[in-house]
Structure 1
Amino acid sequence: MQETVRKWLDIYRSVGIEVLALMGAKKTIYPFETKVAAVRAVVDEGMTKPEAMARFGIASTSSFKKWLKAYREDGPEALRPKPKGRPKGAK
């Protein structure tokens, strides 16, 4: 419980109440363009992670860290949505 409150407090301090309020809502699916813009703001423009999260309205630090890792390893195409379910013809 204390760890959760600390996490919320850290998020509030770094990105503000607006992003904190988004947490716990239904899972947000961010457009490809938003992901790329947020990641490039950090990687190419030197913006801090909390600043980018606040600017682009990203509530999940873990998702954002995954995007950064994927972008650094495989470029922007790694941030495209993946198809759901089994491939056609799979049994």
Structure 2
Amino acid sequence: MGLFYSGRVVEFLWLVLMFISVYYYLRKVEKDEPLPRIRTLPATKAIEEGVGRSLEMGKPVHFSMGSDGAYLTGSAMSTTIASLALLRYTTRLCARYGPR
């Protein structure tokens, strides 16, 4: 059993590229150099506005994971995990602002 398999060269090159980029940015952090800015998504701004609006109106906040529900199998798994991250963001906003 060899270290390299035929047809896996591209995957190996991507892995090396990822290691180099992680190493590069870790060095930048250690030297206190500025990192590139990542823009905020408009959807996260909309969540913040929705939580603020529910606070103003005195209404509870409702979060839906979509029409598929919460399945951790098949093709819906990635969207379920992404929606759980958004649920975490929403609950932290609710805890900070205090709507019902």
Larger Rg: 2
TM-score normalised by length of structure 2? 0.24
TM-score normalised by length of structure 1? 0.26
